[in-house]
Structures are given as structure tokens and as C-alpha cells.
Amino acid sequence: MSERAANTAWARALVDELARAGVREVVLAPGSRSTPLVMAFAADGRFRPRVHLDERSAAFFALGVGKATGVPAVVLTTSGTAAANVYPAVVEASAAEVPLLVLTADRPPRHRGADANQTIDQVRMFGGYVREFFEVPEPALEGPALRHLRSLIGRAVASAVGAPAGPVHLNVPFDKPLEPVEVADSFVGAHPLAVKGRPSGEPFVSVSAAHAQPSAPELEALREELRGSEGVIVAGPSPESARSGPAVKELAAATGFPVLADPLSGARFGPGAGAYCVAAYDLFLRDTAVAERLRPSVVLRVGSSPTSAALLEWLLLHNGVPQIVIDGGGRWKDHLATATRYVRADAADTMRALAARATRTGSPQWEDVWRRVESAALEALGSLRGTLMEGEVWGPVLASLSSGSTLFVSNSMPIRDLDALGLPREEGLDVLGNRGASGIDGVVSTAFGVASQRKGPTVCVLGDLALFHDQNGLLWSREEDAAVVFVLVDNDGGGIFHGLPIAEHEPHFSRYFATPHGLDFVHAAALHGISMESVEVEDLADPLEQAIQARGTKILRVRSDRAASHRRRRELIAAVQKSVREALAKESEALPMETSPR
């Protein structure tokens, strides 16, 4: 039997076990050293192989698949710097707890450190950002070796899905010949389990998921801690928003605690189930006097750090108040060091268990204060609608998205404006974003990856710098099942930097921070055959609705002025704070009327 068939048998066994574990999406970039795996994926009808010329865009697409489904997709690269281009997506997957399988083909170990072409040190190249690293042995036509490989793939998939979920790196060396060579029937007959896997079709080894559950005494202790009359639930971004969001509302309804729900928490949009989700908290919590008045007796926190800087400041302001964090992942989620109790348990399961045991201790007076503050904030918002240039895109965007739709929102100002202006509603909406490391790279590709797993329409709101960073991602528009309507807020530079003190230092601010680029993205759209239309923010509703109905990829560009938008945000915040202070001043304990918007 020829050892030349080792690569083929090795790659097919690896791919077979991935399929048995439920993996279906594989995203690859062309290369030579990965040939055995590419050919194995192509020959296996259980996969949908997708090809992209840019490894970074390929990896972010795979990230989007994992974000949308909870099932890891494979991103496959050849050796050398091709593998290094996956790094940004690995970092985001790690921080956002999204399952991802990174397969990097490699030269044989003897080539490392020996001046071999396209050979770099790929061993543990992603450092601590991966849940596990596997240096896959060199292919060998041996029954025990193939069985070990199958077992290793089961471990890799189990590690990727968590908890916490995240990226797993498998480095797979191949020697030549790289093209397929059939395995002799005699070897198959002698080692059927190694070559064909378990006859039942099950994985070679099934690994059960570990979900930490609190004990009965711990649940009872938590129930007692949540008996405060002025409690609040803070729901941050969640990788399992479809599970955790409804659980947040179930517990909120049982306790009577108001909910401060991040747009990515799963609790902002959808049936209220008797819970009270506070609107516009990002705007009125910026006022220190208002934040002081809304002092809680206990805070329950789930999910990652909220998007809202004002909410984070509110949590820090009330450091010393009992703050309970419930988190089943392996990452520490308390960068402000305000937690008084940290419960390592599945958040959704724990909240449901607590809801079943909880008594309604939240006082009507406590809820009434929040509702009066919210009402005053919304009154100010209503009076100033149409004056916040960039943030006004969220009115028509949210109105156009019904239940079953998916919204992918970029970092920088889009997610912040959504957090401030996106009001809770009864109709469901799946909102996703890359808030793990909060970068603007890979937004386009991730949105396409998400869209490929959705039956309903997908809309992505992003800024011009995010589009610039991932222009190569527009190549994904060729995928028949991955249509995205992009709402591009084009302010010719980095608008978020206008909120920093450095904005007062011209001309250095414009040159080194705001960085106006003067690019017209119509040319990038045309390069990929994508229709692009420029619209005014007040005219966005109809073109957006038409683009969604067309079920194709399109870019709707809304131009804005960075400096003017920033001024109008400040005016809006000042108006909200003034309105809220006036509402609270009607109480016996009046607040001073000075305001300094942050």
C-alpha cells in the first residue's frame, strides 16, 4: 500500500468527523498546501464550501455563520501569512464567545525554521485567543492514528461550542503529494472504523456540553439577595440573545425590576412578557444628579459590558451597592470591579430558575420614578426629532424591520446611536454586532455570513470607515443566499472622535483622528456589481423598504456632516437632561437645574 494516500485518508477522516459533529459551512481561500482538505470538503456533499480571495473576509464570514447559528463554521487557509490574516476574526470570536473552527494548512515540521518557502511558525500563533490549539500530527496510514484524529476533531468541535464558545485552531501539516490518491481497499478492509468512522453515523466520540447550574442553596441565596425593593436588571450583549433575552424579561416580570437592555442583549426588542424595559437610559443617565436619584438597592447583571458608557458610569457611581453578575462563560465580565457576587452558571437557566422562586419585591414607587424619567426623556426626543442627522437613520431602519428580520449593526457611532434612540418594542427583532473586541474591521463580511443563515431579510447599518476596512467583503454579494441591504452613514471620516477632547486641537485633529478620505464608494459598489443609491435621511424609508422587498444586496448611502451631527447630539442630550431634571424637580426633593451633557 502506497503511503502517498496518507494525505487523502487523513483529510477525509478529518472532514467526515466535522460533518458528523454537525458542521456544515466551510469558508476557504485558495492555496496549495490546503489542497487535501479542500478536495475532501468538495467531495463531501454534507458541506457547503464557500470561496473568498481574502482570508480576513473569509474568516469574518465564518464568524457571522457562528454568530447566527451557534454552530461553528470552518475557515480554511493555506500556510504562511494567509493564516495570519485570520487573526482579527479569531480575536473577535474569542471576545464575543462565538464558535469558530480555524484550520490552517502547514508545511511539514521539518521545514520550519529552515528557510522553506511560505513557512512561518504557526504553532499557537493565535496565543490565548483560542479556546484550544491542536497541532494535528502528520498524516499517517495507520489505523490507530486515524482513530486518534477522529477523536481529536470531536474534542475540537466541543471546545468551540463552549462554554464559553469561541475559536479553536487546528494546524494541519501536509507533505507532497497534495492531490488526491485513493486508499487501497485492503487498508480500508483492515481498518474500517478508522477510515469510515462509526457505522451508526455518530461522531467518533460525543462530548457533552457543560452548562454550569447553580445549586439549590445558591439559588436560595440569590433569591434572598434580590429581595430589594429598588432593584434593576442590566442586560448586556449576549452571544445567546435568543435564550437570555426572554429569560431576562421573565425574571424582570417576576421581581418587578426595571430592565436596562442593550440592543444586543435580546431583551430590547420583542414581547415584553410583563417586564418593563426602560427607553432612552443612555441619554438621561449621563446626568450625574439624575443618576444619583436613580440609586438602586441591588443590581443583577448578565451578558457582556453594555455599549452605553453612561450606563457603565451609573454602575460605577453606585459601586458598593450589591451587584450580582451571572455568567456561565470562562471570561471575567467585571472590568469596573463593581461586582459583589459573581455566579458562574448559565445565565438563562439561572434567571428562569430564579423567576420561578422570586417574589415581586420591586416597589411601584421605584418603577414610577423610572417611568417618569423615561417619559420626560421621550418627550424631549419627540420635540427634537429630525435634528439629529446621523441618528435619524434609526427611525426608518427599525420601522422597516419586522419580526423575522435581522439587523447587523456596526461599531463606532451606529451601535451607540441605536442604543440611545432605539426604543423597546413588542415586535421581535434579531440584532447582532461584533461587540467582542468592538472593531470596525470585518463588518461587511460578518453581515454576509449572518445573512447566509437567515430566511428573512438582513439589514446592516455601518459607517464609511467600516465599509472602507472591509471593501473586499463585498465580494460575498455573489452568494445567492447571502443578500444584505447596507445603510451606509457616510460622514467622510471618523465621526466618533468628535466626542473626544482632542477634537479641539485643529489642524491635528482632522489630519490624524477624523481622517477625511474623500472616497466615493459608488466605485467600490460598481466593482462588485452592487447597486448603490444616495438618499437623504428624511427620504430613507421608501428606498429601504423597496431594497428589502427586492431581496438582493444594495447599498443606501446617507451622507452627513460629522461636526454638525456631533453638535446636534449634544443639543439633544442637553434637552433630554433638562426635561428629566424638570420632571424630577416636581418631587419634594428637587434637583438643581444645571446641566452639562457628556
* pLDDT tens digits for range 76-124: 999 999 999 999 999 999 999 999 999 999 999 888 888 888 889 999 9
Other C-beta atoms closer than 10 Å to the C-beta of 2 total 12
The percent of residues above 90 in pLDDT, for the chain, comes to: 79
Nearest to 132 by CA among 88, 161, 93, 167: 167
Other C-beta atoms closer than 10 Å to the C-beta of 66 total 31
Measured distance CA(113)–CA(237) in Å, rounded: 43
Instruction: Pick 10 or 388 by higher pLDDT.
Output: 10
With respect to residue 577, please indicate whether it lies within any of the assigned structural domains. Answer: no
Measured distance CA(340)–CA(337) in Å, rounded: 9
Considering the domain architecture, whether residues 327 and 448 belong to the same structural domain is answered as no
Amino acid identity of residue 123, one-letter, is V
Last residue of a domain, one of 335, 355, 383: 383
Sequence-ordered list of residues with C-beta below 8 angstroms from that of 140, at least 6 positions apart, any chain:
6, 10, 146
With b meaning 16 or more CB within 10 Å and e meaning fewer, what string describes 428-447?
bbbbbbbbbbbbbbbbbbbb
> Residue 319: pLDDT above 70?
yes
Q: Which three cell numbers stand for residue 376?
A: 420626560
With respect to residue 590, please indicate whether it lies within any of the assigned structural domains. Answer: no
Confidence of residue 504 (pLDDT cuts 50, 70, 90): confident
With respect to residue 593, please indicate whether it lies within any of the assigned structural domains. Answer: no
Helix/strand number for the chain, H first, E second: 23, 17
pLDDT score of 422: 94
State phi, psi for 156 to the nearest 5 degrees: -65, -45
Considering the domain architecture, whether residues 19 and 153 belong to the same structural domain is answered as yes
Cell 461550542 belongs to residue: 161
Q: Which three cell numbers stand for residue 39?
A: 478536495
pLDDT score of 255: 95
Distance between the two ends of the chain, CA-based, in angstroms? 73
State phi, psi for 412 to the nearest 5 degrees: 75, -130
Is residue 98 within 8 Å of 66, Cβ to Cβ? yes
With respect to residue 349, please indicate whether it lies within any of the assigned structural domains. Answer: yes
Segments of 52-97 assigned E as strands: 73-77
Is residue 485 within 8 Å of 106, Cβ to Cβ? no
Considering the domain architecture, whether residues 179 and 226 belong to the same structural domain is answered as no
Amino acid identity of residue 145, one-letter, is A
Average pLDDT estimate for 249-267: 97
With respect to residue 588, please indicate whether it lies within any of the assigned structural domains. Answer: no
The strand pairing partners of 461, in sequence order, are: 409, 487
Assign residue 309 the CATH number of its domain: 3.40.50.1220
| Domains identified in the chain, total number | 3
Instruction: Pick 202 or 593 by higher pLDDT.
Output: 202
H/E stretch holding 347: helix 347-357
With respect to residue 307, please indicate whether it lies within any of the assigned structural domains. Answer: yes
Map residue 462 onto helix, strand or coil: strand
Amino acid identity of residue 170, one-letter, is L
Q: Which three cell numbers stand for residue 351?
A: 434567571
pLDDT score of 157: 97
Measured distance CA(345)–CA(334) in Å, rounded: 15
With respect to residue 591, please indicate whether it lies within any of the assigned structural domains. Answer: no
Confidence of residue 1 (pLDDT cuts 50, 70, 90): very low
Nearest to 457 by CA among 524, 591, 554: 554
Measured distance CA(182)–CA(5) in Å, rounded: 6
Considering the domain architecture, whether residues 450 and 411 belong to the same structural domain is answered as yes
Considering the domain architecture, whether residues 335 and 221 belong to the same structural domain is answered as yes
Residue 133 domain boundaries:
3-196
Assign residue 453 the CATH number of its domain: 3.40.50.970
Sequence-ordered list of residues with C-beta below 8 angstroms from that of 567, at least 6 positions apart, any chain:
none
Considering the domain architecture, whether residues 185 and 282 belong to the same structural domain is answered as no
Is residue 327 within 8 Å of 342, Cβ to Cβ? yes
Considering the domain architecture, whether residues 18 and 108 belong to the same structural domain is answered as yes
H/E stretch holding 565: helix 562-585
Average pLDDT estimate for 344-371: 93
What's the pTM?
0.93
Confidence of residue 209 (pLDDT cuts 50, 70, 90): confident
pLDDT tens per residue across span 147-186: 999 999 999 999 999 889 999 999 999 999 999 999 999 9
Considering the domain architecture, whether residues 405 and 547 belong to the same structural domain is answered as yes
With respect to residue 586, please indicate whether it lies within any of the assigned structural domains. Answer: no
Measured distance CA(184)–CA(181) in Å, rounded: 9
Average pLDDT, the chain: 92
Considering the domain architecture, whether residues 379 and 398 belong to the same structural domain is answered as no
pLDDT score of 4: 84
Measured distance CA(63)–CA(73) in Å, rounded: 7
Considering the domain architecture, whether residues 295 and 338 belong to the same structural domain is answered as yes
Measured distance CA(317)–CA(338) in Å, rounded: 9
Confidence of residue 336 (pLDDT cuts 50, 70, 90): very high
Confidence of residue 428 (pLDDT cuts 50, 70, 90): very high
pLDDT score of 503: 73
Considering the domain architecture, whether residues 9 and 141 belong to the same structural domain is answered as yes
pLDDT tens per residue across span 536-581: 999 999 999 999 999 999 999 999 887 888 888 888 999 999 999 9
* Cα diameter, the chain: 91
Average pLDDT estimate for 28-46: 96
> Residue 388: pLDDT above 80?
no
Nearest to 467 by CA among 433, 492, 449, 435: 492
Measured distance CA(15)–CA(24) in Å, rounded: 10
- Cα distances from 254 to residues 97, 215, 251, 355, 583, in angstroms, run 29, 20, 5, 6, 28
Is residue 214 within 8 Å of 342, Cβ to Cβ? no
pLDDT score of 569: 87
> Residue 593: pLDDT above 50?
no
The percent of residues above 70 in pLDDT, for the chain, comes to: 96
pLDDT score of 587: 67
pLDDT score of 236: 97
pLDDT score of 2: 61
> Residue 595: pLDDT above 50?
no
Is residue 466 within 8 Å of 298, Cβ to Cβ? no
Last residue of a domain, one of 326, 349, 383: 383
H/E stretch holding 343: strand 341-343
Measured distance CA(329)–CA(316) in Å, rounded: 23
Considering the domain architecture, whether residues 150 and 50 belong to the same structural domain is answered as yes
- Cα distances from 54 to residues 75, 79, 469, in angstroms, run 11, 14, 13
Q: Which three cell numbers stand for residue 35?
A: 489542497
With b meaning 16 or more CB within 10 Å and e meaning fewer, what string describes 470-486?
bbbbbbbbebeebbbbb
- Cα distances from 152 to residues 21, 159, 284, 508, 560, in angstroms, run 12, 11, 52, 53, 52
Map residue 186 onto helix, strand or coil: helix
